[in-house]
Amino acid sequence: MSTTIDVPESSNVVKGTAPLLAAPREEAAGGWRKGIAIMDFILRLGAIAASLGAAATMANSDETLPFFTQFFQFEASYDSFTAFQFFVVAMAFVGGYLVLSLPFSVVTIIRPHALGARLLLIILDTVFLTLTTSSGAAAAAVVYLAHNGNQDSNWLAICNQFGDFCQSTSGAVISSFVAMVFFVLLIVFSALALRRNH
């Protein structure tokens, strides 16, 4: 549809015939892609903060009640719930991936036409988006039950007793949802940059 001509460096024939038409468009496309690549890098930094913050908040969310019986003390920590354990592991994993993905993001800034790196990033981002979303949603479901309980199955709300625990787990869940939004934006921007005609 568009009349853009993509001229690789090696094709001297084409460059010889129509250099004035091709060169400026190519330059503009590169600048546009570079802007998206810089945005990608910034979004990644935000996602690192959100995911590692979520993991740290959840991991430090244990609360011990000040009263205890002869036999055991009342304590709630992320270890109590499998969904929260999964959350901590998944978020630490996502944070690690994001840190490792920064060099690839830098490659796309330096070389806006390096589509291999971008393709690798969009595929891995999709996989880690599902990891972020699933761990966040599973933790959210448990947090909801902790807040409200469930009458039909006779599960009592534990947030009346463990208020601080519920607060920090809720915060961690919100932080993971922020990371999720960053991932969706990363994928959308990568898809825009991968587009052939612009």
Piece of the chain touching its own copies by CB under 8 A; list 35-43, 45-53, 100-108, 124-132: 124-132
Instruction: From 7-15, 40-48, 52-60, 101-109, give the range in contact with its own copies by CB under 8 A.
Output: 7-15
Cα–Cα distances in Å, from 97 out to 56, 86, 198?
16, 16, 30
3-state SS assignment for residue 59: helix
HEC sequence for 62-102: CEEEEEECCCCEEEECHHHCHHHHHHHHHHHHHHHHHHHHH
- Distance separating the N- and C-terminal Cα atoms of the chain: 10
Which of the stretches 34-42, 43-51, 93-101, 143-151 binds its own copies when contact is defined by CB under 8 A? Answer: 143-151
- The verdict on 133 binding its own copies (CB under 8 A) reads yes
Q: Is 156 in the site for its own copies (CB under 8 A)?
A: yes
Comparison of 42 and 127: residue with beta carbon closer to its own copies:
127
| Site track 68-107 with its own copies (rule: CB under 8 A), x = hit | -------xx---xxxx------------------------
